[in-house]
């Protein structure tokens, strides 16, 4: 009887009023927290269920992707390009100091798991936790779209990925050397050249599934 709230963002291709391709990210950690579970514990439960039903653990990685006909586009709008470049500086170049250039001082950022980071300091702590877990990870922007309307903030949607090895203590517990693929989708609102509100969506339960899957295979091989 628990009330469950979990965000979902989808990057869709629509042709003739029908969705023909879709990249969907759900906030698995938010779902787990709403049920009173740790995301890692929910991941362990799902890994066991997957293996019973499918014979293997199910989660998305580039190796499991099925290529579609649609080629994602990156907006050449200078504001969208600046937003994506800010993310590259923070995540690909591991430069958290760039947060102060990209975000307004009082920016509100909704995080995986339902948390909210208010201001530079809390955004920095979120970023550092991910970068610490995946030192040297490769960041890539896959889709970038901008929408403008009079008397409204500029709105940007971006689909991105982060690939690396779980080699550090950070967002995902003790490092076990697992190769991790993180697919994320952001919605951001900007006034002027600064982000004032942002929604970052990552399925952290899926990330934990990759980590646990690697650990169990490693233990089996020993």
126: CATH? 3.10.450.50
pLDDT mean for each 10 residues of the chain (222 residues)? 85 91 94 94 95 87 81 91 98 95 98 96 97 97 95 96 97 95 98 96 97 72 41
Task: Find the domain containing 154 and state its range.
Answer: 1-222
Which residues are CB-neighbours of 105 under 8 A, at least 6 positions away? 119, 120
Residue 170 near residue 134, CB atoms below 8 Å: yes
Look at the chain and report how many structural domains it folds into.
1
pLDDT of residue 66: 79
pLDDT of residue 168: 97
Q: Half-sphere exposure of 51 toward its Cβ, with a 13 Å CA cutoff?
A: 10
pLDDT of residue 73: 87
d(CA 80, CA 133): 28
Cβ burial of 129 (10 Å; 0-12, 13-18, 19+) is: middle
């Amino acid at each position: 009887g628990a009330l469950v709230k979990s965000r979902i963002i989808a990057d869709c291709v629509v042709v003739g009023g029908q969705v023909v391709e879709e990249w969907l990210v759900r906030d698995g950690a938010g779902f787990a927290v709403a049920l009173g579970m740790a995301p890692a514990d929910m991941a362990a439960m799902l890994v066991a269920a997957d293996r019973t039903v499918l014979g293997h653990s199910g989660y998305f990685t580039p190796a499991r992707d099925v290529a579609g006909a649609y080629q994602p586009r990156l907006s050449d709008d200078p504001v969208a390009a600046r937003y994506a470049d800010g993310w590259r500086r923070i995540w690909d170049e591991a430069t958290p100091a760039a947060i102060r250039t990209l975000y307004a001082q009082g920016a509100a950022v909704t995080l995986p798991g339902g948390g909210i980071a208010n201001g530079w300091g809390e955004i920095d702590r979120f970023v550092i936790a991910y970068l610490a877990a995946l030192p040297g990870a490769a960041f890539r922007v896959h889709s970038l779209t901008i929408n403008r309307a009079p008397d409204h903030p500029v709105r940007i949607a971006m689909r991105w990925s982060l690939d690396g090895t779980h080699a550090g203590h950070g967002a995902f517990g003790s490092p076990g050397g697992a190769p991790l693929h993180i697919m994320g989708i952001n919605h951001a609102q900007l006034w002027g050249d600064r982000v004032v509100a942002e929604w970052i969506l990552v399925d952290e339960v899926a990330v934990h599934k990759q980590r646990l899957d690697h650990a169990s295979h490693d233990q089996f091989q020993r």
